[in-house]
Amino acid sequence: MGATPLRWKLAEDDGGQGALFAEEELVDRHMGRGEYRGLEFLHVNARRIINEVPKASRVPFRYTINAYRGCSHSCTYCFARPTHEYLGLNIGEDFDRKLVVKVNAVERLRAELRSPKWAGEHIAMGTNTDPYQRCEGKYHLTQGIVRVLGEASNPFSILTKSTLILRDLELLQTAVGRTSVHANFSIGTLDEPVWKATEPGTPHPMRRVEAVAKLNEAGIPCGVLVAPVLPGMSDAPEQLEAVVNACVEAGATNVSAIALHLRPGVRQHFLDWLASNRPDLVGDYEQRFRRAYQPAKDQDALAVLVRTFVAQARGRWAPPRRIRSVSRPKPRASRSAPAPAPAEATQLGFSL
Ligand code: SF4
């Protein structure tokens, strides 16, 4: 364990509030052991844990919490990768294996929620990296955050790809009884080869579908983002219909699809990966992603197709039959906007 000087600079998506960490706070480096072998943990003390999104931002949420930076889920397309560059690390292997851990996240949250300036607004988690990525099993920061938000009756939402969220089922149930809570799973495809190739560190997509069912059965509203849909890999109608059917049958409160987008930096990373893994698609992707977002007509066509599959599936499995009612007091008054519509949120800012 030793001090590692890193270049800390705030990522734009964290709100433009200046340096996240005090300069004098050098980082302790911890090498992962056992099930965490191959990972490296960089401990920092965050100055703040609730990040305010700049007002000029188009994202439909104003406050976020990200206890970790970097993500061992290692999705090839992850748009959060460039945030590692802000730290002087690279967007490839460093992003997957060198994980920044804000070890004081829970105590900072308690202090910030107590502040008279805080008005109990909605907080979105999973906007940058996955709050239930593997190292959450070691650090339990998201667990502590969920506990504290629930105790404070502060509304929140969680977007994840990880079944580890089920570890916190009881805490989430308690929170649902006190405030507005919503979960979303990102399940881009059920196609095993595509999943293994593009999201190598994530739980199997069918385990995620089962988690959607368990959350809804437990009274925690949970939807699904079929995201991102990868041209030539996971966008065939039969692939989309399969994932929609499974999620609707699992009782997902909402199912919507998001087309892949590739911002500068991520675009090159993804194209490099494609050249090694699917060279037949490189030309098509270079054409499609001259800009970060695919043409509106292609995004619209995807949305319509998936909405059609959702409507058909809802006709077969009446919605959402597995959700049991939960008595819940009126959520604490909040000046914030309601939880973002998941599709819109992902399009505009979430990383999953
Ligand atoms: S897309 Fe989400 S789950 Fe995948 S690496 Fe990025 S933050 Fe992690």
User: Who wins on pLDDT, 231 or 339?
Assistant: 231
Q: What is the pLDDT of residue 59?
A: 80
pLDDT in tens, 35-70: 999 999 999 999 999 999 988 887 878 999 999 999
- C-alpha distance from residue 207 to each of 164, 203, 227, 308, 349 (Å): 10, 7, 16, 25, 25
Q: Which atom of ligand 1 is nearest to the CA of 77?
A: 1
- Distance of alpha carbon 267 from alpha carbon 161, whole angstroms: 22
Domains held by the chain: number: 1
Question: What does the block give as tokens for 175?
Answer: 């929170």
Q: What is the pLDDT of residue 1?
A: 43
| Ligand 1, pocket-test mutation among 76, 129, 189, 194, most atoms within 8 A of CB | 129
| DSSP string for 186-242 | E-----HHHHHHH-TTSPPHHHHHHHHHHHHHTT--EEEEEEEEPTTTT-SHHHHHH
Task: Kindly report the backbone phi and psi dihedral angles of residue 9, in degrees, each rounded to the nearest multiple of 5, phi listed first.
Answer: -145, 140
- C-alpha distance from residue 53 to each of 9, 62, 71, 139 (Å): 16, 5, 21, 26
- Distance of alpha carbon 72 from alpha carbon 95, whole angstroms: 8
Instruction: Give the domain extent around 199.
Output: 3-348
Q: Which atom of ligand 1 is nearest to the CA of 160?
A: 3
pLDDT in tens, 93-140: 999 999 999 999 999 999 999 999 999 999 999 999 999 999 999 999
Whether ligand 1 lies within 6 angstroms of the CB of 73 is answered as yes
CA nearest ligand 1 atom 4, residue: 75
Q: Which CATH number belongs to the domain containing residue 159 in this structure?
A: 3.20.20.70
Residues paired with 157 in a beta bridge: 124, 182
**Whether pTM exceeds 0.85:** yes
pLDDT surpassing 50 at residue 310: yes
Average pLDDT of the chain, as a whole number? 87
Residues paired with 255 in a beta bridge: 224
| Ligand 1, pocket-test mutation among 161, 165, 204, most atoms within 8 A of CB | 161
- SS3 at position 118: coil
